[in-house]
Copies of this chain bind each other. A is one copy, B any other.
Amino acid sequence: MKIAVLGGDGYCGWATALYLSSRGHSVAIVDNFVRRLWDHELGVETLTPIRPLSERVRVWEELTGRTMEVFSGDVMDYDFVASTIQTFRPDAVIHFAEQRSAPYSMIDRKHAVFTQMNNVVGTLNLLFALREFSPDCHLVKLGTMGEYGTPNIDIEEGYITIEHNGRKDTLPYPKQPGSFYHLSKVHDSHNIMFACKIWGLRATDLNQGVVYGTITDETEMDERLVNRFDYDEVFGTVLNRFCVQAALGHPLTVYGRGGQTRGFLDIRDTVRCVELSCLHPAAPGECRVFNQFTEQFSVLDLAHMVQAAGKKLGMTVKIDHLPSPRVEAQEHYYNARHSKLVDLGLTPHLLSDSLLDSLIAVAVKYRERIDSSVFLPQVFWRESRNVRTRQTPVAAGAVRP
């Protein structure tokens, strides 16, 4: 298939682009590299020394003979989106090209507004371009499990059948997102559902859990193909951060009691879920939702697992409980359905000791690059203005209550 990967220079996007290319699909990467800019803004770096996209693509071609076309531009620019769709004529578009960090969206008003505008308008531009130039193209959109929040009932995949006062209907699952970023994804979901209804577009909304890991078969082929590995409080996902902390002998930074339970998945499953969605496209007019994760853990569960894995490697791993910078339930019911991708053929990579070993090993390998000042939360949900300048790091422990 011809598949365009929007945001293909990012964490999930790069792994996905490589995997789809390795599977014989014709892949185009669409990116404006703004994710690299945000590292400079925040004064942080990926643990792994990633190469410029031009080099990544050249190395991939040298190793495999497979080419990936690159379209350099911004999804906020409609002319760019439209010309990309017209030029590449994809069978499927994978849309990773959004600002994906909850803390980044909570820094202050400008970051909240930027996140919602960037994500919502980017997706609107894509929907209009598909309607205009490629109405049969399948949109595979990355949403997030965080759209649902933590309701006290089971979470279904996108829709729920409700019986009420003797009548019944199947309706979009109620959403309780927990940051301006998560809200942007909820806005997207509503917009996409509507576009499918009025224009007959086909879409798959992947409500992805928290991704961990960095290694895929493809990135392992050559150091220059290495993927991002973020461990800072803004863009780092929790398990990756814990592994880096363990490698450095820094206490694991659990927010609050750590009872926050979420869905998680290995990045090797992210890439397979995306391909499965492409190979089994939504029908015209259909907006289907898959919950894309493989296992549920509480944050404290993860901390204990990293602690145990560290112990096996001879490390002493402490766990610190920090006041949570977020506004979220620290103990709650959580049971989310996630069978649709398994039904399509996903065989999950479950979180195991060996994966944790390898993650900690990556962190040890790049230990010299670790900046421990970026572990601690500096973005607080209850503030409307956070001073988030990693260029002047706070002393460890100087966490605001």
Binding site for B on A (CB under 8 A): 78, 109, 112-113, 116-117, 120-121, 124-125, 128, 131-132, 151-154, 160, 162-165, 167-169, 171-180, 183, 186-187, 190-191, 193-194, 197-199, 327, 333, 381-382, 384-385
Contacts and interface: CB of A to CB of B under 8 A. Distances in A.
A153 B167 contact: yes
A160 to B, nearest CB: 7
A333 B162 contact: no
A191 B183 contact: yes
A45 to B, nearest CB: 30
Contact of A164 (B109, B131, B160, B178): B160
A147 to B, nearest CB: 10
How many copies make up the complex? 2
A169 B152 contact: yes
Contacts of A168: 152-153
A384 B162 contact: no
A221 B182 CA distance: 49
Contacts of A172: 174-176
Nearest to A193: B176
Closest 5 CB pairs of A and B: A171-B174, A152-B169, A109-B128, A153-B164, A131-B384
Contacts of A186: 187, 190
Contacts of A151: 169, 171
Contacts of A162: 153, 160, 162, 164, 174
Contact of A78 (B109, B179, B187): B109
5 contacts: A116-B191, A153-B163, A154-B167, A175-B190, A177-B190
Contacts of A187: 116, 120, 183, 186-187, 190
Contact of A381 (B160, B198, B382): B198
A257 to B, nearest CB: 19
Nearest to A156: B164
Contacts of A333: 167
Nearest to A132: B384
Contact of A153 (B169, B190, B385): B169
Contacts of A194: 177-180, 183
A60 B168 CA distance: 51
